[in-house]
Amino acid sequence: MNELFGFARAAPMTWIDVLDIVIVSIAIYESLKLIRGTRAVQMVIGSSLVVLLYYASLWLQLDTVNWVIRNVVGYVVFAAIVLFQADIRRALAHFGRTPFVRYFTKAEGGDENVDEIVDAATILSNQRTGALIVLEREIGLRNYIESGIPLDATLTYDLLVTIFLAGSPLHDGAAIVKDDRVAAASCFLPLTVKPGFSRELGTRHRAAIGLTEENDAVAIVVSEETGKISLAMDGDIERELDETQLRARLHALMSQRRQTAARPGTEPAHQV
């Protein structure tokens, strides 16, 4: 009780103390999220039991138990590093994808994302596998993301190809890319009602045009019948693009987006 009253009479808490507590709380929370459902859970439970046993040995004056724990713990730490090296790498990669770090690396990763998307579209085109890939820009697509199956997976060409395979349960609908992540798949998009488009355009093409009529998203369509690649933007569509043309168009759009984001006074659009 004396210690408690002494703490209460201590100097008032400053913003540095609050920041200290917040950082530690976030670190503990993220660590618990990382180890949930992994082998590390048992490791944490075992370590907690060892710590309790150590303090119990001090309190009960169990000298032999205390000596064993003090001499064994050092070796256990090295053993844990070897046994859980994969989990440690995953944890470091997770912290490297935090919004604060991604803010500084986003511009560097944009070109890589374009290459992944173009590679996926080219493979799907050669296989004549229908696909619809949507890239979110300044206007959010949360309503459409929530209509599909959430993924929040790293953007890679093999993931996109797998999504649109004929036997995949996610091949119907659109895959939506948000920043450097595949946010969701099998998403439902509005169809255009604008007349004048070619009758050759299928449901995917009309969905791509319908979505881009409402916002600034970019949609890439691969025709299932012909394997031709199309790019929809601002309610219009460019058809029969080859790999080089698609790559150049996407690089130009990504560069334009980065310049807009870096412009002084520019604020990101709100989610729809």
pLDDT for 45? 77
Tell me which CATH code domain 105-262 carries. Answer: 3.40.1700.10
pLDDT for 125? 92
pLDDT for 260? 55
Residue-wise pLDDT tens digits, 108-122: 445 678 889 999 999
pLDDT for 253? 81
pLDDT for 269? 44
Q: How large a percentage of the chain has pLDDT more than 70?
A: 73
Query: How deeply is 42 buried, as exposed, middle or buried, from its count of CB atoms within 10 A (0-12, 13-18, 19+)?
Result: exposed
Q: How large a percentage of the chain has pLDDT more than 90?
A: 22
Residue-wise pLDDT tens digits, 204-214: 898 999 898 88
Coil vs helix vs strand at 181: strand
pLDDT for 187? 93
Task: Enumerate the β-bridge partners of residue 236.
Answer: 233
Beta carbons of 151 and 114 less than 8 angstroms apart? no
pLDDT for 86? 62
Note every long-range contact of 93-101, with CB atoms under 8 Å and residues 24 or more positions apart, other chains counting. 94/30, 94/34, 95/30
Beta carbons of 160 and 151 less than 8 angstroms apart? no
Q: Residue 112: how many CA atoms within 13 Å on its side-chain side?
A: 11
Distance CA 139, CA 272 (A): 7
Residue-wise pLDDT tens digits, 228-242: 999 999 888 888 899
Beta carbons of 173 and 188 less than 8 angstroms apart? yes
pLDDT for 10? 58
The domain limits of the chain are: 2-95, 105-262
* Residue 6: its H or E element: helix 2-8
Classify 270 in phi/psi space as left (phi over 0), alpha (psi -120 to 50) or beta.
beta
Beta carbons of 191 and 206 less than 8 angstroms apart? yes
Nearest to 246 by CA among 262, 259, 264, 233: 233
- The ranges of the chain with pLDDT < 70 are 1-12, 34-40, 83-111, 195-200, 256-272
Nearest to 212 by CA among 190, 242, 241, 187: 190
